Chains A and B, each alone.
Chain A
Amino acid sequence: MTRRAALSALAVPVLSRAGLGAVLLALAVLAGVTIGEVALPLGLVGDLLAVKLLGIERALDPIEAGILWSYRLPRTLVAAACGAGLALSGVVLQALVRNALADPYLLGVSAGAGAGAVAVTLLGLGGGAIGLSAGAFGGAASAFLIVALLAKAAGGGPAQLVLAGIAGSQLFNALTSFFIAKSANAEQARGLMFWLLGNLSGVRWPDVSLALPVVGLGFLVCLAHVRPLDAFSFGSGAAASLGIAVRRVQLVLIAAVTLMTATLVSLVGSIGFVGLVIPHAMRFLVGPRHARLIPASALAGAVFLIAADIAARVLIPGQVVPIGVVTALVGAPGFALILIRNRRRS
């Protein structure tokens, strides 16, 4: 078989899997936009798409169409981007630091992003979504740096990394509280606290146009690095002897993770456990090779967070539960399972 024939033989299962993934994602989005306090008919979605995308005239209920188009759809798309981005960040961090417990939340990256975003909001350094994201990026990058250096200084073992992550999270959460106590009025404080718990209520179209490109870019960067990520399985020394430019790969991937986490935290607050639990579930389903793990985790993360957002909206009638609370309710037991499984392995 020639290389070309082999390529096309490979392309068929890859394409059919990508197709399956797209269908699953579309179904999840459909559920996300129709289920809620006001259940919307499926037919409305078709009609609305015909009007918005094809320019066909249809008679629509303006209130229902408004809920669907300006509220539910952006919210669901951002939830999908968020779930995919956090799951990807988890996969990449776990591979790079060779630690099953690494994820942006536990390593303090989310806390750093939160502190950065709050600082920008309250201290009035630059404005708008971009300024907020830049602040979050600065916070996330400093948190990662501090945690990584602390873990290294403490001996560099897996337990040290997790402990350094706790220290980092505590430090940056304390900074956040300090900024809020110092500069926010009561109403701002309540809003910020609610946002920090993870909240999609305020999401509108401009947020979509920030979240989707950033997560799309992050996904492509991860996809381009599936082999280097595999090569890290036996450590960075082994990766180097397999021809990986270790420093460059680490830098590019950590930048991608920091950018995704920072952007998502600045939009919807910090949502825990997605980056931890989704990659593990996917390792269990599709195995540890990143060529499958990366797309599977992105898809599962997106679907999971759409589902969590639906749950957040319908769990208590008339009340929206912060989505971070829903992911923690599902994620904490998942985390416990990972701990137990890890102990058995070692």
Chain B
Amino acid sequence: MRIEARNLGWREIVRGVSVEIRKGETFGLVGPNGSGKSTLLRLLAGLMPRAAGEVWLDGAPLAQLSRRQIAQRLALVEQFADTGEALSVRDAVDLGRTPWLSPLSPFGPEDRQIVDRALAAVGMEGMAARAWATLSGGERQRVHIARALAQEPRVLILDEPTNHLDIHHQLALLGLVAALPVTVVMALHDLNQAMMCDRLGVMSDGRMVACGKPAEVLTPDNLARIFRVRAQPMIDPSDGSTLFRFLPMETST
């Protein structure tokens, strides 16, 4: 599913962001803390009240879709989402089926299979009966991802999905997301992981200051200006890919 955003804005926090994300693309958002990544993701999901600008999903204006229609197309995993209810892992993932259910089509065996597959995709199938409160941070994160997968969206919006995950699960998640036949937009902090995206948007102070292929966008110059680090690009001889080593800026600000 193709996403077009024109002149998106919310207060002073996101300003004039226009971007087009292609069908099936994995699009990364990077930027310093507080640069507006989470806010932009919520704008793309149509969740900010009194937002400026417009979003189209495959040419259909988001503003003209009902919440249910949006949820059938687009799933969002937010940075912090917790519950005090004594839900089990399976209960939490079941919630992903909500936009597809109605009194006439209640939760059935197909829905259960979709939930099972989503649990397996994040390696949580063995913990389906565990209580939410007993999960570790990384396990909770994986349940959220499974919930979003169970929504069977065509656009997956993830806010720092690798947060809390151990290195194995970080790589597994990025591999999973890259292999999904859906459009993915995700905020990332690890710039080496961001190199795996098809394209990147760089946020700084509420604006998208650069957008393009990772190698074109994450230049040492940009990294110094926006992220205030000295980046040393290094080539992995086994496959020729670029890695960064980060050093503090020589001159303090």
List A residues at the B interface (Cβ < 8 Å).
1, 3, 6-7, 10, 98, 100, 224, 227-228, 230-231, 233-235, 237-238, 240-246, 283, 287-289, 345-346
A-B contact sample (14 more), CB < 8 A, given A231-B95, A241-B75: A6-B108, A7-B108, A10-B106, A98-B84, A230-B91, A233-B87, A233-B95, A234-B81, A234-B95, A241-B76, A243-B66, A243-B69, A288-B85, A289-B91
Q: Which residue of B lies closest to A235 (CB)?
A: B81
Report which of B47, B69, B81, B82 forms a contact with A240, defined as CB distance below 8 A: B47
With most chain A CB atoms within 10 A of its CB, the pick from B42, B66, B92, B98 is B98
Q: What is the CA–CA distance of A68 and B89 in the complex, to the nearest angstrom?
A: 50
Q: Which residues of B contact A6 (CB under 8 A)?
A: 108-109
List B residues at the A interface (Cβ < 8 Å).
42, 45, 47, 66-72, 74-76, 78, 81-87, 91-92, 95-96, 98-99, 101, 103, 105-106, 108-110, 133, 151
Distance (Å) between the CB of B40 and the closest chain A CB? 15
Q: What is the CA–CA distance of A228 and B98 in the complex, to the nearest angstrom?
A: 8
A288 touches B98 (CB 8 A): no
Q: Which residues of A contact B92 (CB under 8 A)?
A: 233-234
Report which of B78, B96, B99, B105 forms a contact with A3, defined as CB distance below 8 A: B105
Q: Which residue of A lies closest to B144 (CB)?
A: A234
Interface of A is mostly: helix
With most chain B CB atoms within 10 A of its CB, the pick from A235, A243, A283 is A243
Q: Which residues of B contact A345 (CB under 8 A)?
A: 84, 133
With most chain B CB atoms within 10 A of its CB, the pick from A1, A288, A346 is A288
Q: Which residues of B contact A237 (CB under 8 A)?
A: 42, 47, 78, 81
Q: Which residues of B contact A288 (CB under 8 A)?
A: 85-87, 91
B45 touches A241 (CB 8 A): yes
Q: What is the CA–CA distance of A346 and B86 in the complex, to the nearest angstrom?
A: 12
Report which of A1, A240, A289 forms a contact with B109, defined as CB distance below 8 A: A1
Known contacts A235-B81, A237-B78; is A242 also within 8 Å of B86 by CB? no
Q: Which residue of A lies closest to B81 (CB)?
A: A234
Please, could you name 12 A-B residue pairs with CB atoms under 8 Å apart, sorted by A? A3-B110, A10-B108, A98-B83, A100-B84, A233-B85, A233-B92, A235-B81, A238-B78, A241-B45, A241-B74, A245-B68, A289-B91
Distance (Å) between the CB of B137 and the closest chain A CB? 15
Q: What is the CA–CA distance of A287 and B78 in the complex, to the nearest angstrom?
A: 25
Q: What is the CA–CA distance of A288 and B91 in the complex, to the nearest angstrom?
A: 9
With most chain A CB atoms within 10 A of its CB, the pick from B45, B85, B109 is B85
Q: Which residues of A contact B47 (CB under 8 A)?
A: 237, 240-241
Q: Which residues of B contact A287 (CB under 8 A)?
A: 86, 91
B108 touches A3 (CB 8 A): yes
Q: What is the CA–CA distance of A234 and B81 in the complex, to the nearest angstrom?
A: 6
Q: Which residues of A contact B69 (CB under 8 A)?
A: 243
Q: What is the CA–CA distance of A345 and B134 in the complex, to the nearest angstrom?
A: 10
Report which of B66, B91, B96, B103 forms a contact with A242, defined as CB distance below 8 A: B96
Q: Which residue of B lies closest to A231 (CB)?
A: B98
Distance (Å) between the CB of B9 and the closest chain A CB? 19
Q: Which residues of A contact B110 (CB under 8 A)?
A: 3
A227 touches B98 (CB 8 A): yes
Q: Which residues of A contact B95 (CB under 8 A)?
A: 230-231, 233-234, 242
